[in-house]
């Protein structure tokens, strides 16, 4: 297959990973067990501030394995990192072997709280928590291989039925909108599904 051209959407370069890897029907992001939250996450400092601004709402949904003390939800020090919009990030803390914002059922309290309040489920959830196993590094949307071959839901393979961008449709739309998703769909159909071949002296498309 000829090499596909670069795809850029809303200033991001889209890695070929999103089209050349994916999932079978048996497992994918929809079978997520939330174990990726075990080590916590780095979030933009503005996302931390948004969570803290909604602390009372979140506290209604934390359990005894977490804490009502929001001063313990994030690490005290933040760091410069250009992959975060503000240029600075900070870690969530880890207690009881999991992100402090994850409840004992494995659910993210930020998502539970937002949904229960009637807001959109990702209203206060940090971007990279939403996107995983996608990530954005140096403005490239790509597959985060951190748990590749460790957990089925985080393992996009080169033999697949559902390409990664499609398996993560809601996450892609969250990042680049419906238009961006449709641009990926069109790119995939044009450059990864249709392969011109010459058979019996005739050019045809399979
Ligand atoms: S903030 Fe939520 S999604 Fe992110 S690591 Fe913690 S529990 Fe998981």
Domain boundary among 99, 125, 151: 125
What is the model's pTM? 0.89
What dihedral angle (degrees, nearest 10) is formed by the CA atoms of 87, 56, 117, 92? 40
Looking at the structure, tell me whether residues 24 and 50 fall in a common domain: no
Q: Is the pLDDT of residue 199 over 80?
A: no
Using the atom order of ligand 1, give the atom closest to the CA of residue 107.
Answer: 7
What atom of ligand 1 comes closest to residue 128's alpha carbon?
A: 4
State residue 194's pLDDT score. Answer: 66
62 and 79 within one domain: yes
| Å from CA of 41 to ligand 1 middle | 6
**Cα(24)–Cα(143) distance, rounded to whole angstroms?**
16
My answer on whether 138 and 202 are in the same domain is yes
What is the arithmetic mean of pLDDT over 167-194?
Answer: 95
What mean pLDDT is predicted for residues 70-98?
A: 97
The answer to whether 103 touches 109, Cβ cutoff 8 Å, is yes
93, 125, 157 - which closes a domain: 125
Domain that holds residue 113: 42-125
Closest CA to 167 of 33, 34, 25: 25
Asked which of 77, 100, 125 is the last residue of a domain, the reply is 125
Question: Virtual CA dihedral for 17, 18, 19, 25, nearest 10 degrees?
Answer: 110
Residues with CB under 6 A from ligand 1: 37, 40-41, 92, 99, 101-102, 108, 110, 126, 129
Does 21 score more than 90 pLDDT? yes
Q: What percent of the chain has pLDDT over 90?
A: 78
* Contact assessment for residue 14 and residue 141, using Cβ atoms and an 8 Å cutoff: yes
């Amino acid at each position: 297959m000829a090499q596909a051209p670069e795809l850029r959407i809303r200033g991001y370069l889209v890695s070929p990973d999103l089209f050349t890897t994916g999932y079978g029907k048996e497992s994918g992001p929809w079978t997520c067990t939330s174990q990726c939250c075990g080590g916590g996450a780095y979030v933009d400092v503005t996302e931390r501030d948004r969570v803290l601004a909604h602390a009372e709402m979140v506290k209604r949904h934390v359990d005894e394995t977490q804490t009502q003390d929001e001063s313990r939800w994030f690490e005290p020090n933040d760091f410069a990192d250009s992959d975060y919009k503000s240029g600075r990030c900070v870690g969530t803390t880890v207690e009881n072997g999991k992100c402090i914002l994850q409840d004992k059922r494995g659910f993210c309290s930020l998502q539970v709280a937002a949904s229960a309040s009637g807001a959109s489920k990702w209203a206060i959830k940090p971007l990279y928590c939403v996107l995983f196993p996608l990530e954005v590094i140096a403005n490239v949307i790509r597959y985060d291989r951190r748990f590749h071959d460790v957990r089925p839901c985080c393992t996009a393979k080169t033999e697949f039925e559902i390409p990664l961008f499609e398996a993560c449709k809601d996450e892609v739309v969250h990042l680049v909108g419906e238009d961006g998703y449709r641009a990926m769909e069109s790119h995939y159909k044009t450059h990864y599904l249709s392969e011109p071949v010459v058979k019996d002296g005739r050019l045809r498309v399979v």
